[in-house]
Structure 1
């Protein structure tokens, strides 16, 4: 009688032992371990597959142009090489030595740093003030202010520049009318751009106008993380408004404040469009910030390699700020 017949005849009989002919029984859990290993490997590979398209897009949009800029800065690329695609001659560090020997370059650097510092200070001060006011508003008023800030932030640069050119117009400008009619000052027909210092005040207003909404909303989000219990305890202990901000609020919002300050430095250092549009695409030499200096070298003087070299110098100047910004992001992530 076969084993199957015996099992059918007596269901309670024990199953026959596996013999060499039928083969050894695989260890228990081997298949389960194999599936677990495959699942773990697939899980480890999945994040890289998900971010793969993003890495490719970043490389195409940022890394490749940066590599081309570095290559062009060590060449002498003219219109012929740009249009025909012929290889440009290598000149080594000649472009950099010519730039560093140009006094106009250093004037542009100093002008850019001063203008950037003034815009960053004004942006952070106004943004923090708006954020603190939003914290004390009622819900519906805060909603209206937030909507207004987002609307101002979403205005295209060309539209914002046109609005401020109308504000500062010498004949029909709002500023001249208000200063002359309501404050009794002699600003009738005043041209704000004859003096480049006054002109930069107008251009700086455009820059600050576009930057304050982001700073204000970001800092208000940080202010909502301040524990109310600490503020109430400080008030009970007799701490004033300034002491409350210094010892309770500031330690909480400091990382976020440093982050938006670093971003403001990077953005305002690269200002070009505001100057270009406010001066009607023909800025005078007194308004030549570093971005405009690079533009003029590349397209006005047809020295594309010098424009690339100036851009590379700008990247190197801002690399330290970028590293600081990344460190702040990592610190915020560790705190969270």
Structure 2
């Protein structure tokens, strides 16, 4: 009888022990927050992770930009470099630049029209090449894409010297061909002295170097378009031109927007292709763009304040284009 009376007490004790939480734990409702705030996400944690990269960007980009802006507000030349003194002139450099007819009649038209021509030809040629590659099989498409990427991999310096040799007035390929057919006399035509022909050669150079990026980007977009759309359009009797404007162009409008704005940014600040051509390094003032003009004023003339002001103007133009680019990216789904 004693054993039977003890059984309920033992069962109750077992139930009580089973209901207790394991040793070292607490109920969920009464869990204490760990010291130091580790139990919640700190708002400073993302900034701490970004801090190394932001410091590097600040040192490499922000400080030089601030330095250029400060120099643009000074009459800074070789004397100031030697003495370490500052000769502040405020916005006088900008007044001189904006009041100079050379900016409006030569430099700015060279920069804007050259960039516009390069962008249009680069996008058109790159799109045409992408459409051609899209019609090929997988193997030949890879071969063609690899071949055109060679033009993009060639450094701008090397490509510029190749085009300078092609149009060399004495021993160039074009001069030799035209001489062979009796079109010109040897050494009588120099394409680098005239403003229009100079920029025509520079445009060929820039377009040749830039169209592979557009071609590969547009090709990637073309490969995402379902074949059924074009097949249905063919059944309806639509021509290739009609299918491009009715199907391909609307679908790839975000791609075209991105490659166009990126090409505009790159072509506005072209320097190497202009400076390395004969006359572009200071011998022919009629072919300067904003980048070359800033370099010549700074390092050839020793007017670092004036050159910095020109660089700031170019930066403001590129900043405006960049803002358009960022706005386009944010509205990509709406295009």
TM-score, structure 2 normalization: 0.85
Q: Which residue of 2 aligns with 1:128?
A: 127
The SS at the match of 2:87 is: coil
* Kept in 1: contact 2:294–2:310 (CA 8 A): yes
Write the distance in 1 (CA, Å) between the matches of 2:46 and 2:89: 43
Change beyond 3 A, Cα 1:187–1:160: farther
Tell me whether 254-263 or 186-195 shows the greater mean CA deviation.
186-195
Match of 1:199 in 2: 198
3-state SS of the aligned residue for 1:41? coil
| Residues 262-300 of structure 1: per-residue CA shift (max 9 Å, x gap) | 111111111111111112744411111111111121122
Residues 283, 122 of structure 1: alpha-carbon distance in 2 compared, 3 angstrom cutoff:
farther
Q: CA deviation at 1:335?
A: 6.6
Aligned pairs (5 A) from 1:320-331: 320-331=320-331
**Aligned partner of 1:186 among 184, 187, 194:** 184
**Deviation readout 1:103-146 (Å, 9 max, x if unpaired):** 21222011211111111111111111111111111222211121
Q: Deviations along 1:199-218, whole A, 9 cap, x unmatched?
A: 21111111111111111111
Q: Is contact 1:105-1:293 (8 Å) kept? A: no
Q: How far has the Cα of 1:47 moved from its partner? A: 4.2
Aligned to 2:20: none
Q: What's the counterpart of residue 154 of structure 1? A: 153
Secondary structure of 1:313's partner?
helix
Q: Is the 8 Å Cα contact of residues 193 and 284 (structure 2) preserved in structure 1?
A: no
**Compared with structure 1, are the counterparts of its residues 282 and 87 closer, same or farther at alpha carbon in structure 2 (3 Å cutoff)?**
closer
2:230 alignment counterpart:
231
Matches within 5 A, 1:205-224: 205-224=204-223
How many residue pairs match? The answer is 317
Q: Please list the CA deviations of residues 188-242 of structure 1 after superposition, one character each: whole Å capped at 9, or x if unmatched.
A: 4332213221121111111111111111111111111222222122112221111
**Contact 2:93/2:305 (CA < 8 Å) preserved in 1?**
yes
Go from structure 1 to structure 2 and tell me whether the alpha carbon gap of 1:39 and 1:45 turns closer, same or farther (over 3 Å shift).
Answer: farther
Note the C-alpha offset of 1:94. Answer: 0.9
For residue 310 of structure 1, what is the aligned residue in structure 2?
310
Say which SS state the counterpart of residue 74 (structure 2) adopts: coil
Corresponding position of 1:97: 95
Query: Conserved in 2, the CA contact under 8 Å of 1:231 and 1:244?
Result: yes
Separation of aligned partners in 2, 1:244 and 1:32: 66
Give the superposition deviation at 1:15. Answer: 7.5
Give the structure 1 partner of residue 293 of structure 2.
293
| Structure 2: distance between partners of 1:51 and 1:127 | 37
**2:282 and 2:296 in contact (8 A); partners too:** no
Residue 188 and residue 131 in structure 1: after superposition, are their counterparts in 2 closer, same or farther (change >3 A)?
farther
Distance 1:148 1:16, change over 3 A: closer
- Uncovered stretches (5+) of structure 2, i.e. residues with no partner: 1-5, 18-24
Equivalent residues of 1:146, 1:217 under 8 A apart? yes
Instruction: Name the Cα RMSD after superposition.
Output: 2.8
Deviation string 1:287-326 (CA, Å, 9 cap, x unpaired) is 1111111112112221111111111111222322111100
Change (3 A) 1:60 1:193: same
In 1: Cα distance, 2:193 partner to 2:100 partner: 25
